[in-house]
Copies of this chain bind each other. A is one copy, B any other.
Amino acid sequence: MSDVKIYQASATAPVNIAVVKYWGKRDQKLNLPTNSSISVTLSQSDLRAHTTASCSLSYSSGDTLLLNSKPEDVTNARIQACFRELRTLRSHVESCDSSLPRISHLPLRIVSQNNFPTAAGLASSAAGFAALVFAIAKLYELPTSSTDLSRIARQGSGSACRSLFGGFVEWQMGKLDDGSDSIAVQIAPASHWSTLKALILVISGSKKDVSSTSGMQATTKTSELFNRRVETVVPANIKMMQSAIMKKDFETFAKVTMSDSNNFHATCLDTYPPIFYMNDISRATIRLVEYLNCILNRTVAAYTFDAGPNAVIYYQEEDEKLVVGHVKGILGHVDGWQGRGATVSPLINDGFDQRATELLHNGVSRVIMTGIGDGPISIVESLITDNGKPL
């Protein structure tokens, strides 16, 4: 019977880690940011959200979303905004071509899985909303560009718009009240600078104090320094970062990445009451990166921290032995090395601050070695059975 047909499509989408940070909304409902931002898309081999979108008249319980086997509340305004936008586009396509099945009004069943622990605080919502929007767009066979999809994903989770592209991505803040010009664009594909690598240190311990959304609200409302970040610091960092990426100038890339991360966390500390995302272990990571760049007498590594204690260290493939090798000298006992990162000379390790070494040794629970990667991809592997049951 055609009326119980199950339509479905599957996709994966990547995590992205900003090098010029998004912090602050000028419109809460539309997720319009107070400043532009730039990110690096990480490889989906290591970190990805996998989503199957399906719809069917046989889905009697209305729209549903299963995330890592747990039902999510789809009445959430952000999820609703994505569903509504995508349904409107499908309905338009249907109205233009009477041969197409009428599926825009059918209940949606979305099943999504991350290949990394959500609790690790690794920008999972960005990958999740990008995969959700991309999978539904494919289910609906929409002729929509990635930039148009980024506008929709942004309404789910701001930084999700950047996960619609691979490589180096700018989220242009836009100026319009309706958010139609607040979109992601690709600065350069992953292939432009494929030797850029990322080492993630997952730092255990304290749960996040303050969610990104409420943290941003508090900062925009109470920080006296925040306007300066938005008006002066970020526009300068965006320009320097665009140029550094085009020239593959790691030194400038690193400098802007580190100082923008610090600048963002400074506005968090200037919030009232103050917000702290980094802890003593995060700071030990900063000291380690500074130490490496200092003893090697050139910039081989750059740290950055999102709204949590985990560190992301960017480096270039040719320096992997130096950077990863050195970190492994301290963190050899934790999971995630994949047999890589031979320990470098203990002479180098020995010179590093003993207390910071101990903090890292005891405080990092695992590492993830990854690199720059591509945008969302359609895949065949489905998370639901042919008769629509979640696997």
A residues adjacent to B (C-beta < 8 A): 205-206, 223-225, 227-229, 232-233, 236, 255, 258-259, 262-263, 265-267, 269-274, 276, 279-280, 283, 286, 290, 355
Contact = CB atoms under 8 A, between A and B. Distances in A.
18 contacts: A205-B355, A206-B355, A223-B266, A224-B228, A224-B233, A224-B236, A225-B229, A225-B263, A227-B228, A258-B273, A262-B271, A265-B269, A266-B267, A273-B286, A273-B290, A274-B286, A276-B283, A279-B283
Contacts of A272: 255, 258-259, 262
Nearest to A207: B355
Do most interface residues of chain A lie in helix, strand or loop, or is the interface mixed? helix
Contacts of A279: 280, 283
Contacts of A262: 269-272, 274
A281 to B, nearest CB: 9
A225 to B, nearest CB: 4
Given A224-B228, A225-B225, A279-B280, A270 B263 contact: yes
A272 B286 CA distance: 11
A273 B228 CA distance: 19
A205 B280 CA distance: 12
Contacts of A273: 258, 286, 290
A286 to B, nearest CB: 6
A207 to B, nearest CB: 9
Contacts of A263: 224-225, 270
Contact of A269 (B224, B266, B271): B266
A189 to B, nearest CB: 30
Given A224-B236, A266-B270, 6 more contacts: A224-B228, A224-B229, A225-B225, A225-B229, A276-B283, A279-B283
